[in-house]
Structure 1
Amino acid sequence: MKYSNPVVPGFFPDPSVCRVEDTYYLVCSSFNYFPGVPLFESKDLVNWSPIGHVLTRKSQLDLTDSPTNGGIYAPTIRYHQGRFYMVTTNVDHGGNFYVWTDNIYGEWSDPIWVDQDGIDPSFYFEGDTAYFMSNGTDDEGKSGICQCTLDIKTGKKLTPTKCIWQGAGGRYLEGPHLYKVADKYLLVASEGGTEYGHMLVCAKSDQIYGPYENDPDNPILTNRNLGGYQIQGCGHADLVSDLKGNWWFIHLAFRQLDRWQQQHVTGREVYLVPVTFIDGWPKVGHDGTTRAQFETDRIASDVSQSPVPNLTLANSQIGNQWLFLQNPDLANYDLSQLPEQVGLQGTTVTMDAAKDSPTFLGTQQRGIAFTLKTKVQLTAGEAGITAYMTDEQHYDLAVRKTATGFELFRRIRLGEARQEDHLISLPSDTDQLEVTLILTGSPDQYSFTAATQGQTYQLGTATTKYLSSEVAGNFTGVMLGIYAQKSADAASSWANFSQLVYQNQD
């Protein structure tokens, strides 16, 4: 069959995968969004269904004052002796920890903390021994890929931490994973930074603590030299075998807005490439590159890759497809009328806030072309839809109550520049306004449309690239969402959102 990349489009970075019998499970980074660590399952590696999140309680995930580039970094998922483990880093609150569950569809444990620095932690199990590694510093102060053994029940270190590999010579060594393939230990990591120079490297050894021999073909996967190719930034991979014994890498990459426009807004996404071992070394993808399509007989010919589904309040869930910023105050959310509508109570915490949690629900922008549409009922304050990259980079289309009625407007926030324009006054003799808000996206621009009282209004466009990771200087992707907020002197009220639809159009 022929499949297309990305297999999970949108802001789902740092993927990790494991297989249990005939089912694959995938986790990704979530940064300062709540719940944390999205969880997917698949039977065929190309169709992935969201089944929830790993970190669903504040006791597991403290995001107090976590910025957009903070919170949860690269997780690893592993299955050992009937139990799932997910290990990750909360870079703002506590460092490295892991949680476990015996039911992948149920609740996970509270965190078990690991007294080891670094980020991008990973587990490797051999017999009853649990090996923990991260890209950090060992007990003698040597930096690189560092490893120790743990008491898996307590997280206590059983052995000193030892640096086992310092990479293949590239900068920003990160994302380590360890495997055993053909009686050799295979250590895979990334270098070059999670940007255009990103690359996957590996080494192998007869002994788990090394010494490790670098693959003579390093980097084994990179698109850094594919100029004019939309897929870039390949790296941070996890290796998995299928039921037939074939090997695959699940890895991150991103799509530029087009071939020659070197910005991306959909974040780092999930890609799939075949792997073949020759003389013990992995040969990856298409001559060491990732392409938009692969044709393979490894996946059954009757498997069909499904497009990204449209999201509505009826076919999606708050806390699964729709996320909060930082730890939310659930008193500001009325979910009692789902799936017909969701209520948001505005507070003085706005979408510009670097701290605290605004009243917001967002989903990943999964296509470069899309439409987000909703109907809003408002009596006071402000409510709208947003294309949100960070608190300093977002575009809003909103309605607010004024002294004489209501007002439609567009807001652009780009760093220190903040502008509200296309103001349209809507005199009203009632205390409530109902308005349809529409946000559309294309490679070049976002467009803003509103409809109310029998009239349709065009509220301009805004350039896409200014919400890109390259301009924003962060590691996430654009989230598309709804929000409510108010000024300090405004009355408190609820905004009701109905007919909420996200439509992917790639």
Structure 2
Amino acid sequence: MRLSNTAIITAAVGVGLAAAQNSTYYNPTLPGWHSDPSCIYHEETFFCAISTFLAVPGIPIYASKDLINWKVASHVWTRPDQLGLPNAARDVDYLQGGFYAPNLRFHDGKFYITNVYISPLEYQGILGCIFTSDNLYDDDSWSDAVTWNATAIDPDLFWDDDGQAYLSSAGIVTAKIDPATGEIGAPKVQWNGTGGAYPEGPHIYKKDGYYYVLIAEGGTELGHRVTMARSKNVLGPWEADPSNPVLTNNNTAEYFQTVGHADLFQDGKGNWWSMALATRSGPEWEIYPMGREAGLVPVTWNEGEWPIFSQFRGIMNGWELPQYSRAIPGRGNFVQDPDVYDFQPGGPIPRNLLFWRFPEDGKFTVSPRGHRNTLQISPSRANLTGMPLSTDKSLTGKTGLSFISRRQTHTLFSFSVDLTFNPSQSYQEAGISSFLTQLNHIDLGISRSNASSGYGHHSSPSGLEFRFRIETAGTINSTIPSSTTITPVPAAWSHGPIRLSVGTANATYFLFSAAPASNPNARIVLGYASALVVSGGSGPFTGNLLGAYATCTGAGGNSTGCPSGGEAYVGRWRYTGWAQQVDKGEWAVGSTSDLI
């Protein structure tokens, strides 16, 4: 099945079942920011781990029975002290720091996650980490980290037939390692690829008497590609695949670009697959708010031969997919599903929601007394940008931000919350944000009016104002200036929740609006912003997050936190994905998991 240009496919309940017959499916299978996938097949279930950098809970493990429907099974990093470093969960200068490129493997009854944490300089910059678990559906089963002082990113664990473990990292170098202690032997340079920049992301496999090393090179931009070599010895010498690069969209006009950082795994029938990252940007590589996403490619790997990868596209044909199923245990969320959250008393925070750095304790409370069916957000001193050069860490954001979010997982979407907020001071602000990093975001906030804003208490009938803010400090030579636009809140709106919304006006522009929750038809548009603001810039490795925040904008002192008051109450959290662009001029309406 191949769609014509401008074709639109409408979701239907039964189409998902067609996958087993025609093996036609849509990429990305893990839409939204899901970079550096590493995947295995274990006991009739596929599992993939994903990079999270500064977002927490960190390193999600997704589970799927059919390679299309992916559900959050657990998160590896849920306790700030798992690294054994004080405040490492927050105190990172680099906005693309944190957890890089997890490698997921199963060996001798245990699951292993191996990666590095780009940490504060006082912790020597790169910390190698190994986490273990015996239950991928239980956050608490993940161990504290076994650590070592790493010299490169993207570590991969491989066990040879004799049980010896080897650690390979960017470079590409390999050393013996004891995963239980982190003790590492002398590294040996393996293979530096085909001459592309930044050889990294190695994975070693053994098949038909050969050791194969799969790597990424060319950087994670338009030159990104996957290459391979093999050897009769785990430490080389290595023979390059004559078909290198084995997977890339470099120098093509394909809609999916930056294809690379892949992993290989088999299904229950012995078919080989690869999961790789890609960007829905076209070769223009300008507007791609969802950042680096993960998609599935069939691979032919006959005995004794080199593997042959299909080209990465939005509409794929390949092996017969496993039977459609959503029979995944646990209380996690499927990636492509809508959010319908009312924060009922006693309920947990949904598992697909993320924080940017670990928040301070007590900043988020589900359904507090007097505010049933809301999520209380207590303000952080730092706003969503912070003051990066401040010596007061609470003003930089490195003690935590009061911001909770979910990934943008569709090209066209709508997101809204009902905000109850009664600020007494102009420095108290709460609202919603389209957020890439602290230096690239778009906010719609509510605050008490003040004279400096141009309205003041006498000019704004409600005493409140909307603040529509565009922050582009993280984009070098941005064509879109940072700006703030003030609009008074209508007087009649101040007596109940206000529905704040952001959605896509089209594939490249966001529209921010507000309405009284009791009368959504009274909506007013408060601003438009290009998705270019949250594409690349200071967040080349991450993707757009949509969420709610509260801040006291630096008021108070470092030892006392924010002055009292300024709590925000978020209810009726809703996210709906309307359509996915899967190629130039080609769209799928609804969830890609339904459109198979």
Same fold (TM over 0.5): yes
1:69 pairs, out of 96, 102, 107, with 96
1:294 pairs, out of 306, 316, 326, with 316
Separation of aligned partners in 1, 2:108 and 2:297: 28
Q: Does 1:327 align with 2:358?
A: yes
Q: Does 1:95 align with 2:127?
A: yes
Separation of aligned partners in 2, 1:468 and 1:269: 13
Kindly provide the CA deviation profile for residues 236-285 of structure 1, in whole angstroms up to 9, marking residues without a partner as x: 011101111111111111111x6856431101111110111255211001
Q: Does 1:437 align with 2:500?
A: yes
Separation of aligned partners in 1, 2:183 and 2:511: 53
Q: Does 1:363 align with 2:406?
A: yes
User: What residue identity is the alignment partner of 2:527?
Assistant: G
Residue 481 (structure 1) aligns with: 547
> What secondary structure does 2:533 align onto?
helix
Residue 423 (structure 1) aligns with: 487
> How far apart are 1:301 and its partner, in Å?
6.5
Q: Is this contact kept in 2: 1:18–1:26, CA < 8 A?
A: yes
Separation of aligned partners in 2, 1:327 and 1:319: 16
Separation of aligned partners in 2, 1:202 and 1:217: 9
Kindly provide the CA deviation profile for residues 288-310 of structure 1, in whole angstroms up to 9, marking residues without a partner as x: x2111222342146679998110
User: What residue identity is the alignment partner of 2:577?
Assistant: N
> How far apart are 1:192 and its partner, in Å?
0.8
Kindly provide the CA deviation profile for residues 155-206 of structure 1, in whole angstroms up to 9, marking residues without a partner as x: 112x321111111111111100000011100000011111111100000000
How many residue pairs end up in the alignment?
A: 490
User: What residue identity is the alignment partner of 1:370?
Assistant: F
> What secondary structure does 2:242 align onto?
coil
User: What residue identity is the alignment partner of 1:313?
Assistant: Y
Q: Percent of aligned pairs with the same residue?
A: 31
> How far apart are 1:427 and its partner, in Å?
4.1
> Compared with structure 1, are the counterparts of its residues 350 and 398 closer, same or farther at alpha carbon in structure 2 (3 Å cutoff)?
same
Residue 313 (structure 1) aligns with: 341
> How far apart are 1:105 and its partner, in Å?
1.8
Residue 138 (structure 1) aligns with: none
Residue 577 (structure 2) aligns with: 504
Q: Does 1:226 align with 2:252?
A: yes
Higher mean alpha-carbon deviation, 8-17 vs 296-305, is at 296-305
> How far apart are 1:495 and its partner, in Å?
0.7
Paired residues for 1:87-166 under 5 Å: 87-92=114-119, 93=123, 95-106=127-138, 107=140, 108-126=142-160, 127-135=162-170, 144-157=171-184, 159-166=185-192
Q: Does 1:86 align with 2:113?
A: yes
Paired residues for 1:189-204 under 5 Å: 189-204=215-230
User: What residue identity is the alignment partner of 1:122?
Assistant: D
Residue 462 (structure 1) aligns with: 529
Separation of aligned partners in 2, 1:12 and 1:320: 15
Q: Is this contact kept in 2: 1:34–1:319, CA < 8 A?
A: no
Q: Does 1:54 align with 2:88?
A: no
> How far apart are 1:422 and its partner, in Å?
4.4
Q: Is this contact kept in 2: 1:15–1:28, CA < 8 A?
A: yes
Kindly provide the CA deviation profile for residues 32-68 of structure 1, in whole angstroms up to 9, marking residues without a partner as x: 1111101101112222111231111111252333232
Separation of aligned partners in 1, 2:181 and 2:324: 46
User: What residue identity is the alignment partner of 2:430?
Assistant: A
Residue 388 (structure 1) aligns with: 435
Q: Is this contact kept in 2: 1:408–1:426, CA < 8 A?
A: no
Separation of aligned partners in 2, 1:115 and 1:128: 24
Separation of aligned partners in 1, 2:442 and 2:377: 19
TM-score of the aligned structures, taking structure 2 as reference length: 0.78
> Compared with structure 1, are the counterparts of its residues 473 and 84 closer, same or farther at alpha carbon in structure 2 (3 Å cutoff)?
closer
> What secondary structure does 2:488 align onto?
strand
1:276 pairs, out of 277, 284, 300, with 300
Higher mean alpha-carbon deviation, 26-35 vs 334-343, is at 334-343
Separation of aligned partners in 2, 1:109 and 1:322: 22
> Compared with structure 1, are the counterparts of its residues 125 and 314 closer, same or farther at alpha carbon in structure 2 (3 Å cutoff)?
farther
Q: Does 1:213 align with 2:276?
A: no
Q: Is this contact kept in 2: 1:313–1:340, CA < 8 A?
A: no
User: What residue identity is the alignment partner of 1:221?
Assistant: L
Q: Is this contact kept in 2: 1:232–1:255, CA < 8 A?
A: yes
> What secondary structure does 1:465 align onto?
helix
Q: Which has the higher contact order (CA 8 A, sep 6+)?
A: 2
Separation of aligned partners in 2, 1:385 and 1:169: 45
Separation of aligned partners in 2, 1:117 and 1:188: 20
Q: Is this contact kept in 2: 1:146–1:163, CA < 8 A?
A: yes
Higher mean alpha-carbon deviation, 436-445 vs 215-224, is at 436-445
Residue 407 (structure 1) aligns with: 465
> What secondary structure does 2:532 align onto?
helix
Q: Does 1:346 align with 2:373?
A: no
> Compared with structure 1, are the counterparts of its residues 284 and 103 closer, same or farther at alpha carbon in structure 2 (3 Å cutoff)?
same
Separation of aligned partners in 2, 1:134 and 1:40: 24
Q: Is this contact kept in 2: 1:130–1:152, CA < 8 A?
A: yes
Residue 393 (structure 2) aligns with: none
Paired residues for 1:26-37 under 5 Å: 26-37=48-59
Separation of aligned partners in 2, 1:51 and 1:429: 41
> How far apart are 1:74 and its partner, in Å?
0.6
TM-score of the aligned structures, taking structure 1 as reference length: 0.91
Kindly provide the CA deviation profile for residues 456-489 of structure 1, in whole angstroms up to 9, marking residues without a partner as x: 21112111112211x4452111111100112417
Separation of aligned partners in 1, 2:548 and 2:539: 24
Q: Is this contact kept in 1: 2:429–2:445, CA < 8 A?
A: yes
> How far apart are 1:73 and its partner, in Å?
0.6
> Compared with structure 1, are the counterparts of its residues 336 and 473 closer, same or farther at alpha carbon in structure 2 (3 Å cutoff)?
closer
User: What residue identity is the alignment partner of 1:100?
Assistant: T
> Compared with structure 1, are the counterparts of its residues 82 and 302 closer, same or farther at alpha carbon in structure 2 (3 Å cutoff)?
closer
Q: Is this contact kept in 2: 1:166–1:173, CA < 8 A?
A: yes
Separation of aligned partners in 1, 2:197 and 2:276: 19
Higher mean alpha-carbon deviation, 214-223 vs 351-360, is at 351-360
Separation of aligned partners in 1, 2:483 and 2:405: 22
> How far apart are 1:398 and its partner, in Å?
1.4
Higher strand share: 1
Residue 251 (structure 1) aligns with: 276
